[in-house]
């Protein structure tokens, strides 16, 4: 998979992409991540990429020309399954979306800033808009990093135990059951006996029951109900 990220602040990705699973995925050649500074495609002598909105109002708007220039360049070099714009009014990110994106060959992610991007970019270039929640960030970089992390970890070979990803929360619209590790007792707090029984069928049933109970308590909306 190849992921091209269009941003005004490429250095914001140094931390997330240089550590842990994402770093190993890149080093293994399982994913290619490229950062493109939108300012490099500006025709302005000061590399300006924003201007006042038509019709007045507060804030600035990212201009169409530099964004179109970088997207056109990338699309001239390869095909892309999705061109994603990180936006608070996009579709709420969830596990089914992540699962689908993990099957893509190449994707572009555009990070907005200021009051957003010229609407013509959204109308004519963007194929999918994604939000990570009902709140506003200073820019799309942190949201894009969340999308990349959630997608890349599902690529075969990225996680050493690939079955682990299949039991994550939300994969089956349920939260994960409680997990424990050694020691079996700490401060008088004991691991449930069922997990020490060695009876795998009973353990699996317990985990299924606990996942349902936790979901019903904490996220009943996932089961089609409302929190009581």
* 172-to-31, 149, 168, 206, 207 alpha-carbon distances in Å: 26, 20, 9, 16, 13
Position 166 confidence tier, pLDDT thresholds 50, 70, 90? low
pLDDT at 169: 58
Q: Which residues contact 184 (CB under 8 A, 6 or more apart)?
A: 190, 191, 196
**Assigned CATH topology for domain 2-152:** Alpha/beta knot (3.40.1280)
Q: What is the pLDDT of residue 132?
A: 97
pLDDT at 172: 77
Q: Is pLDDT of 158 > 70?
A: yes
The per-residue pLDDT for range 203-212, each reduced to its tens digit, is 999 999 999 9
Mean pLDDT score across all residues of the chain: 93
Domain boundaries, the chain: 2-152, 170-223
Q: CA-to-CA distance for 128 and 143, rounded, in angstroms?
A: 14
Specify the pLDDT at position 168: 61
pLDDT of 228: 43
DSSP structure class, residue 30? S
Whole-model pTM above 0.85?
Answer: yes
- Looking at residue 227, its pLDDT comes to 44
Question: What pLDDT does residue 224 have?
Answer: 84
DSSP secondary structure code for residue 113 in this structure:
B
**pLDDT band at 54; cut points 50, 70, 90:** very high
pLDDT in tens, 14-53: 999 999 999 999 999 999 999 999 999 999 889 999 999 9
- Given a cut of 60, whether residue 116 has pLDDT beyond it is yes
Lowest average pLDDT, out of 24-38, 77-91, 160-174, goes to 160-174
pLDDT on residue 171: 67
Helices 141-152 and 20-27: crossing angle, nearest 10°?
Answer: 60
CATH top class, domain 170-223? mainly alpha
pLDDT above 90 covers what percent of the chain? 87
Question: What distances in angstroms separate CA 102 from CA 2, 25, 32, one per listed residue?
Answer: 11, 13, 13
Q: Above pLDDT 70, what percent of the chain?
A: 93
146 falls in which pLDDT band (50, 70, 90)?
Answer: very high
Longest pairwise C-alpha distance within the chain: 70
Q: If we measure between CA atoms, which residue out of 187, 186, 204 comes closest to residue 195?
A: 204
Give the span between the Cα atoms of 60 and 37, in whole angstroms: 18
């Amino acid at each position: 998979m190849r992921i091209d990220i269009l941003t005004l602040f490429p250095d914001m990705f140094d931390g997330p992409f240089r550590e842990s699973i994402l770093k190993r995925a890149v080093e293994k050649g399982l994913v290619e991540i490229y950062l493109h500074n939108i300012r490099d495609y500006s025709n302005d002598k000061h590399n300006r990429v924003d201007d006042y909105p038509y019709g007045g109002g507060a804030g600035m708007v990212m201009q169409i020309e530099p964004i179109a220039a970088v997207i056109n360049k990338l699309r001239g070099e390869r095909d892309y399954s999705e061109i994603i714009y990180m936006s608070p009014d996009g579709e709420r990110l969830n596990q089914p979306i992540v699962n689908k994106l993990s099957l893509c060959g190449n994707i572009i992610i555009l990070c907005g800033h200021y009051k957003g991007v010229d609407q013509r970019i959204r109308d004519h270039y963007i194929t999918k808009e994604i939000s990570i929640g009902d709140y506003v960030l200073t820019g799309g970089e942190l949201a894009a990093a969340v999308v990349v992390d959630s997608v890349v970890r599902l690529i075969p070979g990225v996680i050493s135990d690939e079955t682990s990803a299949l039991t994550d929360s939300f994969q089956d619209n349920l939260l994960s059951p409680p997990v424990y590790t050694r020691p079996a007792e700490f401060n008088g707090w004991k691991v449930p006996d069922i997990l020490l029984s060695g009876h795998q069928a009973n353990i699996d049933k317990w985990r299924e029951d606990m996942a349902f109970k936790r979901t019903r308590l904490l996220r009943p909306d996932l089961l089609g109900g409302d929190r009581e």
